[in-house]
Amino acid sequence: MGSWKYRRVSTTPGWYYGTNGVYDFRDDVAVVLLNRDRSNRYIQDVTGSQGIIFNQYVGLKRYTFGYPAPDGRWPQYRYNGEDLIYAIARDTYDTTKPGTMWIRSTMTGGSSGGPWIISPNSRFFGYVNSVNSHKPYGGAQMSGPCFGNAELQLFNTWKAA
């Protein structure tokens, strides 16, 4: 299939620096740029890739994916960290943490960074508009950043690199 080495990694300033040791969950996103493989192929030429979209409304149907692992904080959810799990739910703006939203999902640690996809086709290719970030309320909710201007700036800065 191939192997791809990374050449650059970056995140938003709000996530990297935080404020007094507290990180800004509305900017919990990173970019990893990969080199071509030995056959001079980009990874998306082999695997396919999602689109990305910014500044969308909330209340959209989201498809989220991850590899949740066993997590003592939520013993009622029995995951092994090896199986791809997905949840489908409508997002809700989180008024307690501006710039974030949440969906109904029982996924636990290990699923962090998994995409929230809107408008997928029959092969689940759509547009990433958030990622699994944290479980602020525990239980059956997952929170993620609303991809807004900070994420758009990060994307535009690195897409040509």
The top-scoring range by mean pLDDT among 8-22, 106-120, 131-145 is: 106-120
Q: What is the pLDDT of residues 69-81, one digit of tens each?
A: 998 888 889 999 9
Alpha-carbon span 14 to 34, nearest angstrom: 23
Alpha-carbon span 158 to 122, nearest angstrom: 30
Q: Which residue has the tokens 């191939």?
A: 2
- For 84, counting Cβ atoms within 10 Å of its Cβ (0-12 exposed, 13-18 middle, 19+ buried), the class is exposed
Instruction: Put residue 73 in one of left, alpha, beta given phi > 0 → left and psi -120 to 50 → alpha.
Output: alpha
Q: What is the pTM of this model?
A: 0.89
Domains of the chain: 6-48+150-159 (no CATH), 51-148 (2.40.10.10)
Please give the pLDDT value at position 112.
92
The answer, yes or no, to whether residue 43 has pLDDT greater than 90, is yes
pLDDT grade for 97, boundaries at 50, 70 and 90: confident
pLDDT grade for 103, boundaries at 50, 70 and 90: very high
The secondary structure of residue 58, as a DSSP letter, is S
Please give the pLDDT value at position 15.
86
Please give the pLDDT value at position 121.
94
Residues 6+ apart with CB under 8 A from 67: 81, 82, 83, 84, 85, 110, 111, 114
Using alpha carbons, select from 11, 8, 34 the residue that is nearest to residue 150.
Answer: 11
